[in-house]
Structure 1
């Protein structure tokens, strides 16, 4: 029998669900009702609402990388296809009327100061993605892995931002074509177009 999520995990899950669906005007009372905890419990785990937001975003990023790692392992025999994995994972569950973009980007845009935990979570996520793209580009034989990684990160961010106004996933094919073109230019080879589609519900 699966163990019951910890109190902290229930708070993080409730925060992600409510903040993503309704925005950051959601009250602490609504959070504790969704999580099934008492109000003092919230502040026993998080010193402020901003601290809760930061922890929630960090958890969302960690979950994304866990899912992505699983997908990369599935494609371990094809280094070119591995570079497509982040883009295909982002749109695997689309169309989805409940999807309205990346929670990390949306959160950072909500809070204007770079010192807010939302900006810090996004910056850490972006650096980790840039490092991953560079590693995957090197494995794929790119002549300039650093340059290709930066180009891929721009496409990755664009794909996530596009989801803010279009949850159909129709734009995913255009991004995939762009990634393949960049990869072909950098390596002289094209990814295998027959790579099986991913099956995931998480969008970061």
Structure 2
């Protein structure tokens, strides 16, 4: 189990803020300065900058799923509303001039090696989203839940990628409309 401490939490928060705003050229010194910890504290918690990045991305993904699970609970009993929840959450805080895409997608694009922790974090996130979309599609009576789940994942990832050039939330609203149309098409399709 990972060690938790206020210093570790501050490091993860500082890393997330700086890497998202400025990219991965940000030095560990800048992260420690923002977190108000000594440099050795980083290496007491993380073996390397890459491990810090991977841990930070995993934490960001967990934060998303915690928020999404709470939203799904609020929409309990309404399968269509639950299926659309990820798109609604993506749009909820937009427009935001500081938003420039998903930190997981951006990080995987920044590190081209497939074995980098950024790729692993994105892969885990997308696998979880795919499984969730499949469950939600089945609950919404889609004829082929796994097909619909893959299509919804493409829409979901597209919204996050569009954030690089459009921070208005329009893409999330468009994806929500497309997701509704896909669900209706899958509900009308025979198995």
TM-score (norm 2): 0.94
Question: Which residue pairs with 2:142 in the alignment?
Answer: 142
Question: Which residue pairs with 1:58 in the alignment?
Answer: 58
1:169-194 per-position Cα deviation (integer Å, ceiling 9, x unaligned): 12222211101100111124xxxxxx
Q: Unmatched 5+ residue regions in structure 1?
A: 189-204
Q: How does 1:4-43 map to 2 (within 5 A)?
A: 6-43=6-43
Q: How does 1:1-204 map to 2 (within 5 A)?
A: 6-188=6-188
SS of match in other structure, 1:171: helix
- 2:187 and 2:66 mapped to 1: Cα distance? 27
Q: Unmatched 5+ residue regions in structure 2?
A: none
Residue 6 of structure 1 and its aligned partner are, at CA, apart by 1.6
User: Retained in 1: the 8 A contact 2:88–2:173?
Assistant: no
Residue 65 of structure 1 and its aligned partner are, at CA, apart by 0.1
Residue 47 of structure 1 and its aligned partner are, at CA, apart by 0.5
- 2:62 and 2:34 mapped to 1: Cα distance? 22
TM-score (norm 1): 0.88
Aligned pair count reads 184
Choose between structure 1 and 2 for higher RCO, CA contacts under 8 A separated by at least 6 residues. 1
Larger fraction in helix? 2
Residue 20 of structure 1 and its aligned partner are, at CA, apart by 0.2
Residue 78 of structure 1 and its aligned partner are, at CA, apart by 0.2
Residue 70 of structure 1 and its aligned partner are, at CA, apart by 0.4
Residue 77 of structure 1 and its aligned partner are, at CA, apart by 1.6
User: Retained in 1: the 8 A contact 2:91–2:173?
Assistant: no
- 1:78 and 1:13 mapped to 2: Cα distance? 35
- 2:146 and 2:164 mapped to 1: Cα distance? 28
SS of match in other structure, 1:26: coil
Question: Which residue pairs with 1:198 in the alignment?
Answer: none
1:30-83 per-position Cα deviation (integer Å, ceiling 9, x unaligned): 101111111000000000000000000000000000000000000002011100
